[in-house]
Each structure stands twice: as structure tokens, then as C-alpha cells.
Chains A and B, each alone.
Chain A
Amino acid sequence: MNVVDATDRTEKQDEAEAPSLLTIILDTNPHAWNLLADTLPLSKAVANLLVFINAHLAINHANRVAVLASHSERAEWLYPTPAHSQENGAAKGSHQDGEDVDMGEEGSSAGQGGPVQSPDDANKYRPFAHVEHAILTNLRRLMSTTTPESLSSTPATMIAGALTLALSYISKQSQSQPAANMTSQFNYSDPTSVAGGNELNPSDSSKHHAALGLSSRILILSVSGDLANQYIPIMNAIFACQRLDIPLDILKLAGDTVFLQQAADASGGIYMALDDAQARAGLLQYLMFAYLPDQGAREHLIVPGEGEGVDFRAACFCHRRIVDIGYVCSICLSIFCEPLADGTCLTCGSHLKLSGYGQRPAVVPKKKKKKKRALEAGGMETPGSEGGTPAPA
């Protein structure tokens, strides 16, 4: 009877795997890829990445993918192709949907760049061909529009911008998902969801994913370091990910990326560093083995990655140095690498005083009257450890 009146249909829907959105941020810093040219050229990396994307799309027909390039001076979409850049790039603007790759464009770009077949190849699964074509075309356009001048201006890459784009895309996608309404919103009037809390929904995670409808994750393929300049925006993006329950997976091919390791640790993602040529050559295996499972699967797996020894150091706000011991403003929590000269916080202008700390240690008993240093503050009393906290004066 049940089958006849179709009462078991809802059950079946519940059992279906939740679709997942994989957002990949590809660090396209040309300098860095040039250094890697001998072991893993960009073209190879992209090809491997395409295989990985295809695998992701093949697992679940509802799975989605988005690819961003974090270039040296800007962050750009590779897939889906944003509407405006298509219009700029292609002479014909006959398409309406930004997510749809325009067929007409193929001719023009193929004309410039060689015999790239339109995605209508019978030998290829169409969605794969779509993604592949869009990514390659956009990547080529990105490289062709990069000027040598812009390259020499900065050694870094726009990870923070790319992360922000990725987060806004994820937010848009999960809101358009029908099951995602209501539950994924942060409820400000709910006293249990503390503003400082890390989780958007305090419910248990297994239910959470089902309720969210779309489980998203971000994979950063990083090749360059020197992110200290973007410390604050990166940290903000990391905290957003942490709260939205979006794991940040990091696959580091080169460069010193302190903050990205923290990002993976804070958001529950996987961090792996492929430091030598041998490891880089196995890129595809790393991608497939470690990064393919989505959140739902990871709950049942012991995930790989370097879980211990996370470098938790922060960058100071004044010189963008990565500091071992920093000084934090007790008002606005800005981090400084050295005690402030005039006791005024550079960010918020609060007057701070720092007592009993940071002075040059005195280890030799003074014989002469060399009392130049202002040590009277401490007096004879044993300095308490709380003296290290700068208090607003």
C-alpha cells in the first residue's frame, strides 16, 4: 500500500546525499608558477585540477563547483564566467545567463588560441567540457591581460579578495537552495546563538548539513607566501568560514603561508604542504585522496593532513611582521610587534600603559648609581604577571 500511495517518497529524498559546492581558489601568482615550472607547470596543475573537478562533479549530479583565480593584483572568476567579462572578451554578447558558457565565444577564442573544440564534443560529458572550457578560456584571458608592470609591483597574491568572493558566492548559492532558507541565517534574536560563538547553528553537525541543503567547502591551491599585508582581511574571512561551517582546505605547493595553516585549523579543513618535487608530482593523488571527500564523508573518515604543530603566530598591525611575542591593545585588540613609543594605540588612539614588562632584564646587581631607567613603577613588590597587560590609562 505504501508504495501505491507513495508514502515512502519523502524518506527516499532524505536519504539522498546532500549536494556540495566546491569552491577552488587557484593561486595564479605568475612569479611563483614560473619558479615551479620545472617540477609542476601551471598547465599541468590545471589539468590535474580539472580531473579533480570532474571527479567532484561525477560523485553527485547535484554537486557544484566554482573556481577563482587569486592573481597577483586582483582576484578573478574562472568558473562560472562572470557576465561582464564575457561581454568584454567576446565580440558577441548573445547570452543572458552568466553561468552558461556561451558557445559563440568559442570560435573567437579558438581562433586566437588554437584549436579548442567547443564543449559539444561527443566524446566528453557535457558538464565536464563546460567547466573545462570556461576555466581554460578565462585563465588564458587572465594571463593575457596581466601586464609585466603589475607583476613587479607585488610579490603576493590576492587571497583575501578571492576568499571574500568565494564566501559571497557560497552565501548566494546556499540561499538559493530551497532547504537552506531560515536555518542558515544567523538568528540575532536567539540568545543561544552567541555573537562570539563559532557555529552558526548550535545543532549537531549531521543534522546541520542536511538542513543546510548545500554543504560548501573551499580549497585553496596556494603557491605564494607573503600574506602578512592582508592579515586582517584574511583573518576575517577565516572567522566567517568558521562560523558558516565551511572548511578551508589548503594545498600548499610553495611559499610560506602561516595564516593559511591557521585557516585550515580554525575551520576544520585539511592542510597539506607539498614541499618537494616528488610530492608535487603526485598532485593528483593528493587532490583525489585527501580533498575529494566532502563534509558528509569526512565525518566518517580520519582525514589526513598536518593536525599538529600549527603555527599560530599573528602578524603585527604596524609593520606586518609575523611576531612571536606581540603587544595587544586592550581596547581594540590590535597587535603590535613592539611596545608603543608614546603609549598610544595606533589603531584606536587609546592611551595604554605597560608596566613591569618589556624592560631590559636586570641580571647584574648595580654597584653604581645608574638609575636612569624608570623602574620605580615596579617598586619592591614582586611584579604580578598581570602587569603584562596594558591597561587603558
Chain B
Amino acid sequence: MPPTPTAAVLYKKKDGSLTISPDHKYLFWTGQGTSSPALTIPVGDITNLQQTPATSAKVALKVFVKEESHVFSFTSKDRAKKEQEEVTDTLRNTIAAAKAPTAAAQLQPATTPSGDGGQQNGGDAGQSAAMAIAKAISSKQADEGWYDDSKLKSDFQLQRSLLEANKPLQARFNEALKDRPESVSISQFTTQFWSARLHLLRAHAIEKAQKQGEYNVLPEIRFTRRQAEKEGDPDIKQLHITKEQIKLIFRQYPVVKEAYDENVPPLDPGGFWQRFFSSRLLKKLKGEKITQQDPLDSVMDKYLERREAGPASIGYIPHFIDLEGNEQNHSQRKGNRPDQDMRPSSFDKVPLLRVLNNLSEKMLSHVAPEDGEAHAPIGMDEEAFEQLRLRDLAMDDQDNRVKLSIREPGQLGHGDAHDDLSAEAKLYMQQDPDQVISGLREGLQPSQLGADKSGTVRLDRAVNYHSDSDSGSEDERTPKHKSTNGKKSRRRVAVNSHSAIASATSSILSSVATRRATSSSDPSSLNGFSQQTFDQLTITHNTTTEFLHYFWTLFLSGNPAHVTELSQLVSTLDRSLDRITAVAETAEKERQKKIEGIEKQYREYERRTGKRRRVDHDEVPGGKRVVNEMAAPTIKALQMAAERYRRELEVQSKEAGGA
């Protein structure tokens, strides 16, 4: 446990002492002569620390707690500086430990304006202004910074690294940045750009925060066999170990470190590793069976019988997962013995399982725990107890659900369903329900359905389809059909007449053809453009979409501060149209060239064979038409945006003029 520093300080012009509680959770200031602390600051609440520069004569520490700040001047004559450092270091370490290890220590020297602290300090405002930030400490919530939108948006380093990792995004970003309207500053643009891509940033941030853990080194190191130079010689075995691997071996297998420490001065390191990798010790560490054939080694074999100590850094193990403790406290020898590999000791039984278990235990212990404070007091504190409680069995678990009360959707209706009715519904209103019903009833009588005299419904007649009849002759075959409304209506197209069937067939076939075209079209095809033109079109489309997005965000925000920006943006949108046209022109030129090429070929062909061939212009793909087809939705969106803007501009200019 680290010592708890105490220092003599001046706070609000009063003498006293500054102490940090033994568990490093609180900072106390106790006035002289009193025993209970007059000021208590929870260390977790401290947002920032500032100290005087090392060169300054006065020694002071400024502690920021949310909006407040407290200034402590260290008064001890000879130890002031040292005491101040002690307190600051302790506080800093505690706070840093409380924060996630990912929060990189950022030492940013910055001057702060002299605040109220200056006056409290007896007028030496200049000095307090000279205080340097001891450490940038953000509040505890900042641990979840990866999920905080505004933080993601302002983290330029993260954005840059994402752009570097994601090339298409970078291209899009650069293109849009280049073409952005003058009035939009880079920072405005980037904010806008990233606000639509927060999820990418977040994913990237999380990805970057991941660290690779330890791995089992020994199996990774293998001899590489090289063909012997001369015939008859044994093959040369080579071993490559990196510095990192050696470090890991030492960490994971303390026995090896011990052996190394004790033996390397007589041996040279190369020799040591050579012996190690052919020793029985290695086999034991890997969990392999040691056989008689394995060579004996006077140095290494000494360490064979060394008991493996458990991982050093697991200081405290809760009793109920402590196997050894279980063995001692509750002997299970009378009942069922625990599973083979769950028992302590007896290495020789299942060496491999044991080695693997041991190893993973060790590797885990080397990883800083994510869910607990590394410097937390050893033993079970309140929080750990809460976590370990069998909550399922607890009677009164706190209900932390959010209650969602749903109202009957029917009650939401604001009435008047009638104004949103379709045109058909309005037609229905004009019909007489009585007539409608009676007409339908009559229509469903068997005679209307094509029943013959005996009463059998002759579907063939009702359906009125005769494969051998032509369209003209069907009327006489139709059973006398009165129109259900009693009106004698002359149908232009008889149901299931040949023409109707034929047109139905062709319409189905054409829709099948369309489907087929869309489903089988090659996504990598360039629609007859060259790769360059196609890319240009893609980029133009991308940037246009970016600007449209920006436009609508600004337009719909209704913020008058963006008026000029908006008008510039509209002209940018207009320019986007020009850009699309430019691409179309390029494509058209390309196509013309292609046509010329074909014509030339044909002329050549004509000259050789005397036969003429016509160039079918429709056969040559690409060109302006295809560009316009592909960009049609974009163009429409641009026009829509411009139109909405102009309309609004007109109305508001009029209003402004009239007012």
C-alpha cells in the first residue's frame, strides 16, 4: 500500500494540513487546531490538477472539482516542494488508475486564465496563471468517450487514421473537401462530414483500442531444418528467437528465468537457449511426456522438479473459486472427488491439461483487469460482494426497466378519415348501396355464372375461352349476359378474348424480361464507359450526394446564421449539375470515338471485300444518354433541392420586403 502523504498547507489564508485518505478516495484539508477535516474532496470528482512550475518560488496546488477550484499553498519551509510533489503524484496516480488504461496520458502544457483561485491566494494572480496543467483529467464519464458523439466528431487524429485506413472514404472526403463552397470552413465541413459517419468513427475507435493479448510462446518457437551441406552430415537445426519471445518466456515460465539468471554468466546466452530447447525441462513446460530417450542435461535437469508457483499477480482469490482453499477448508475426500484437472498438485497425471490451465491462468493475470481498479484494496469490497451475490435468488431485485405505456392506436386518430380518401372511395360514395348489393347478388346467380339447364356450372363457358375461336366469334358463344347494373354496356374488350389473352401474355413476358435483365446484369460492367469515365461519374455522384446531405441539414435547421452558407451551397449544387453534364460530354466523346473506330473498320472491310456494312449506332453502348439515365435520380434530387430553396427564397424575400 502506498504511503499517505501529509502536507502543511495554507487554504483560504488559513493554516492546516492536507491529507489523502488511506484508501486514496478522499482528499482532506484539516484546519489547524481542529481534528475533523474542514474540506473533503472525493478524488473521483477531481477534474483537473494544476501545480506551480518547478522554478517558481511559491509552491501551490490547484484542485479543480467540477466548476469549483481549491488552491492549496504549501507552507513547509524546506519540504514544500517535496510535499507538493508527493500529494500531486499520489492524486495523479489514483486518478489515472481510476480511469481506463486506454486513456492516454496527455500532458498538455497550457496556461489558464487567473480565476478566483488567484484572489484566494492572496493576490498573487500572476503566479496562479502560470500554473501548468499537471494532468489532463476528464471526468469519469469520459471513459465511455468512444460512444460520445461530440468527442468522436472532434477527434481529428482518429478521423485521420480512419481516412488512412479506408481509402474509398478518403477519396470521397478529399473530393468533397475540394469542391465545397467557399463559405464553408474546413471545420464546418468536417463536422458535417463526420456527423453522418459517426458509426464508422466509433467502430474505428473501438478497433484501435483493441490490443493483442499474450500468446503461448513455446509452441511458436520451432527448429527450422536446413539441408546438410555435405552428404552424410546431420541436418542443421536452426532456432530463431526474438527478444520479445524471450521476454514472454520469462514472464510465462519463471523457472526459465531462474535458470537463466543462475547459469548465464558461465554459459553464453546462445548456448543456454540451445541447451534449453533440447532439454527435458522444455518438454515438461510444454506438457509433453518425458521419455528415456530424451538426453540428460546437468544444468537444466536441476529445474525439473521445481514446483510451479501460481501467478504472482493474483494476490487475492475469493474463497469460493480458490481450489486450494477448498481443499483445506472443506475436504471433499469423503464425497465425490473433483474432476481430475480441477485438483491442485499432482502434475504428472495429466501434464498437458495442467500446463495449459496454468498457462492461461498466467496469461490472464498479465492482462490488466478491465472491470476492476488495479489499485483497489485487496479483499472483497462492497462492489465485488454485490457482483458476486447470487442475484437470481434475491427476493427483491430492483426493477430497472423503463415502463412503456402504449395507448390504443385507435384512440390516436384525429377523426376525419374522409379527407384522405382515395379517388375511388369518393366514387363509392356516389353509388347507391342498395343497387350495388342487388346487382352483385344477381350477378352471382347460377345462370349468370354459366350454369346450363341441368344446373351444372360450365366453367368453360363462363370463362369464355376457346382455343380454336378467333376474337370475333366469341360473342355468340357467350351465354346471354346482361350487365350487372342493368345497363347494356358494350364492352370493348371481352373477358378472355384472344386479344386480351395475348396482351396479358406479352405484358407478363416483358416484365419477366425486365426482371431477368436486372437480376442478371453484371455489377462490374461499366455500361459501356471506360473505367476512367465510370470512376469520374461515381465520384461526381458521391460528392453531389454529400452536398445534398449538407444542404438539407442546413436548410431544414432553420438557423439564420447559415443563410450565406446556404446560398453558396445552392450554387455548389448548380455546379454539381454542370459536373454531371461534363461527365456526360466526356462519355459522348468517348462513344463517338468508338463509333468512328468501328466505321473505319467497316470501311476497311468494304475496301477488302466490296461488301458494305452499316454501323448501327444504337449498338454502341455508353454516351451521354446512358450518363443521363444513370444520373437521373441525382439530377432530380438536385433540381428538387434548388426548387425548394428558390421557392422559400421568393416567399421570404417578399415577406422581408413587405415587413
Write the residues of chain A forming the contact surface with B, with a CB cutoff of 8 angstroms.
30-35, 37-44, 46-48, 50-51, 54, 110, 113-117, 121, 123-124, 132, 136, 139-140, 143-144, 146-149, 151-152, 155-156, 224-226, 228-229, 232, 254-256, 272, 277-286, 289-290, 302-308, 317-321, 331-332, 346-350, 356-368, 370, 373, 375, 378, 380-388
**B-side contacts of A40, CB under 8 Å:** 495
**B-side contacts of A224, CB under 8 Å:** 424
User: Which of B94-102, B277-285, B352-360, B555-563 interfaces with chain A?
Assistant: B555-563
B424-444 with Cβ < 8 A to chain A: 424-425, 427-429, 431-437, 439-441, 443-444
Query: Are B441 and A140 interface neighbours, CB within 8 A?
Result: yes
**B-side contacts of A359, CB under 8 Å:** 556-559
Query: Are A347 and B412 interface neighbours, CB within 8 A?
Result: yes
B196 at the interface (CB under 8 A from A): yes
Query: Are B457 and A136 interface neighbours, CB within 8 A?
Result: yes
Distance in angstroms between the alpha carbons of A319 and B441 in the assembled complex:
35
Query: What are 10 sample pairs from A and B whose C-beta atoms fall under 8 A apart?
Result: A34-B440, A41-B484, A115-B451, A155-B422, A277-B492, A285-B496, A349-B407, A358-B556, A364-B563, A384-B195
Query: Are A148 and B559 interface neighbours, CB within 8 A?
Result: no
B253 at the interface (CB under 8 A from A): no
**B-side contacts of A51, CB under 8 Å:** 459, 463
B493 at the interface (CB under 8 A from A): yes
User: Which of B129-137, B413-421, B589-597, B609-617 interfaces with chain A?
Assistant: B413-421
Closest 10 CB pairs of A and B: A359-B558, A282-B504, A384-B195, A281-B500, A115-B455, A148-B433, A155-B425, A47-B462, A31-B428, A285-B504
17 additional A-B pairs beyond A31-B436, A114-B445, A382-B188, beta carbons within 8 Å, are: A42-B443, A47-B450, A48-B463, A48-B496, A50-B459, A114-B447, A116-B455, A132-B459, A136-B449, A256-B424, A281-B496, A285-B505, A319-B414, A348-B405, A357-B557, A363-B555, A383-B559
Interface centre among A32, A44, A229, A386 (most CB of B within 10 A): A44
Query: Are B455 and A117 interface neighbours, CB within 8 A?
Result: yes
Distance in angstroms between the alpha carbons of A156 and B425 in the assembled complex:
8
A interface: dominant SS: loop
Given known pairs A34-B440, A358-B556, A384-B195, the reply for A367 and B656 (CB within 8 Å) is yes
Specify which of A48, A121, A143, A290 is in contact with B444 (CB 8 Å cutoff). Answer: A143
Query: Are A289 and B504 interface neighbours, CB within 8 A?
Result: yes
Query: Are B501 and A285 interface neighbours, CB within 8 A?
Result: yes
Query: Are A140 and B444 interface neighbours, CB within 8 A?
Result: yes
Query: Are B414 and A279 interface neighbours, CB within 8 A?
Result: no
Say how far B23's CB is from chain A's closest CB, in angstroms.
Answer: 38
Query: Are B549 and A385 interface neighbours, CB within 8 A?
Result: yes
Query: Are A318 and B414 interface neighbours, CB within 8 A?
Result: yes
**B-side contacts of A44, CB under 8 Å:** 462, 464, 495
Distance in angstroms between the alpha carbons of A282 and B336 in the assembled complex:
80
B518 at the interface (CB under 8 A from A): yes
**B-side contacts of A307, CB under 8 Å:** 514-515, 518
Nearest B residue to A132, CB-CB: B457
Specify which of A34, A113, A304 is in contact with B446 (CB 8 Å cutoff). Answer: A113
Query: Are A34 and B485 interface neighbours, CB within 8 A?
Result: yes
Query: Are B496 and A320 interface neighbours, CB within 8 A?
Result: no
Query: Are A305 and B407 interface neighbours, CB within 8 A?
Result: no
B304 at the interface (CB under 8 A from A): no
**B-side contacts of A54, CB under 8 Å:** 459
User: Which of B307-315, B375-383, B647-655 interfaces with chain A?
Assistant: B647-655
Say how far A67's CB is from chain B's closest CB, in angstroms.
Answer: 14
Query: Are A362 and B455 interface neighbours, CB within 8 A?
Result: no
B169 at the interface (CB under 8 A from A): no
**A-side contacts of B447, CB under 8 Å:** 114
Say how far B193's CB is from chain A's closest CB, in angstroms.
Answer: 10
Mark B555-583 against chain A: 1 for CB-CB distance below 8 A, else 0.
Answer: 11111111110110000000000000000
Query: Are B493 and A278 interface neighbours, CB within 8 A?
Result: yes
**A-side contacts of B500, CB under 8 Å:** 278-279, 281-282, 285
**B-side contacts of A346, CB under 8 Å:** 407, 412
B489 at the interface (CB under 8 A from A): yes
Query: Are B425 and A225 interface neighbours, CB within 8 A?
Result: yes
**B-side contacts of A278, CB under 8 Å:** 493, 499-500, 503
Mark B389-413 against chain A: 1 for CB-CB distance below 8 A, else 0.
Answer: 0000000000000001111010011
Say how far B539's CB is from chain A's closest CB, in angstroms.
Answer: 21
Distance in angstroms between the alpha carbons of A346 and B409 in the assembled complex:
9
Query: Are B454 and A115 interface neighbours, CB within 8 A?
Result: yes
Say how far A322's CB is from chain B's closest CB, in angstroms.
Answer: 8
Query: Are B417 and A229 interface neighbours, CB within 8 A?
Result: yes
**A-side contacts of B483, CB under 8 Å:** 37-38, 41
Query: Are A286 and B504 interface neighbours, CB within 8 A?
Result: yes
Distance in angstroms between the alpha carbons of A370 and B652 in the assembled complex:
13
Query: Are A349 and B424 interface neighbours, CB within 8 A?
Result: no
Specify which of B413, B456, B567 is in contact with A117 (CB 8 Å cutoff). Answer: B456
Given known pairs A113-B446, A347-B409, A382-B188, the reply for A375 and B560 (CB within 8 Å) is yes
Given known pairs A132-B457, A362-B559, the reply for A317 and B404 (CB within 8 Å) is no
Query: Are B412 and A361 interface neighbours, CB within 8 A?
Result: no
Distance in angstroms between the alpha carbons of A280 and B211 in the assembled complex:
66
**A-side contacts of B567, CB under 8 Å:** 363
Distance in angstroms between the alpha carbons of A206 and B499 in the assembled complex:
38
**B-side contacts of A46, CB under 8 Å:** 444, 449
Query: Are A286 and B508 interface neighbours, CB within 8 A?
Result: yes
Given known pairs A43-B448, A136-B457, the reply for A32 and B424 (CB within 8 Å) is yes
Say how far A74's CB is from chain B's closest CB, in angstroms.
Answer: 15
Distance in angstroms between the alpha carbons of A321 and B499 in the assembled complex:
39
**A-side contacts of B146, CB under 8 Å:** none
Nearest B residue to A35, CB-CB: B427
Query: Are A385 and B195 interface neighbours, CB within 8 A?
Result: yes
Say how far B170's CB is from chain A's closest CB, in angstroms.
Answer: 20
B249 at the interface (CB under 8 A from A): no
Query: Are B556 and A361 interface neighbours, CB within 8 A?
Result: yes
